[in-house]
Amino acid sequence: MKKIFNWMMIFAGVFAAQAVSAQVRPPLSIDVNYSVASPLGSLQDYSGKTSFRGWTAGLQYMLNDQFSVGLRTGFQDFNEKLPRAVYPDKLGDVSAVQTRTLQVIPIQATAGWAFTKPDKPVIPYAAVGVGVANMDYKKYWGEFVESDNSWQFMVSPELGINIPFGQASPVLFNANVRYNYSPYKMGDITNFNSLQYSVGFKFHLN
């Protein structure tokens, strides 16, 4: 009995909170961001250049003023071309111009917590995404390619801010920093680690 009562209280709280947040902006939002990502660790050894080709897109639902859940996807392209070098191998020495690429497409469920109420001019938040990522690995030796495509687990904690364009505006500017981790192993990559910086917009939908 007590359990049911507790659940009822929780639902009542959620709906009450929703009613309040609805006064500021509708609970459902979409967001689109441009992303720059720095490879870390073994990913940096494989393809060390900062990636300027990336984006993220997501869907979020505010359960109350501060807690939200959602879904998101995106794309990031790591790419580095190395000058001709000889790569010794136990089977031989290979002279090649290597182009090392990795394209990442995550699909994650998210949970977020805003540190302030939605009527504040700046809304800092923390979020975490958990899901999978498609890893498209292509290591070119000259025109010859070693390739691998697989789905991997990926977890991505994130810190960011939302800045509404006016107190009750349904449009918010978003900036965030996200750390991505995946236990992906391929060639020189022993784990996937990247730090991703994004800016974009969030639109609350009626």
Partner 1 sequence: MTPEESRIYITNHDSQANFKSYNTFSIVDSVAVLSNRNDTAKKALTDYDKQLISSVSQAMQSRGYTLVDKAAKPDLAVALTRIDNSFTNVAWNPGWWGGVWSPGYWGYPGGWYWPSYYVVYQVNEKQTAIDVFDLKNPNADNKYVSVWNALWRGSGVWNTDNVASMVQASFDQSPYLTNK
Least Å distance, CB 128 to partner 1, is 36
Nearer to partner 1, 183 or 187 (CB): 187
Task: Please give the full DSSP string across 14-80, using - where no structure is assigned.
Answer: HHHHHHHHHHHS-SEEEEEEEEEEEEEHHHHHHS-SPB--EEEEEEEEESSSSEEEEEEEEEEEEEE
Contacts to partner 1 by CB under 8 A: 84, 86, 89, 91-97, 99, 141-147
Nearer to partner 1, 100 or 202 (CB): 100
Q: Taking the complex as a whole, how short is the minimal distance between the CB of residue 140 and partner 1, in angstroms?
A: 8
Q: Which is nearer to partner 1, 2 or 143 (CB)?
A: 143
Least Å distance between CB 77 and partner 1?
17
Give the residue carrying structure tokens 């000259």: 142
How far, in Å, CA of 156 to CA of 134, rounded?
14
Closer CB to partner 1, 64 or 98, in the complex? 98
Residues whose CB is less than 8 angstroms from the CB of residue 25 and which lie 6 or more positions away in sequence, other chains included: 118, 164, 168, 169, 170, 204
Least distance from partner 1 to the Cβ atom of residue 149, Å = 11
Residue with tokens 């364009």: 165
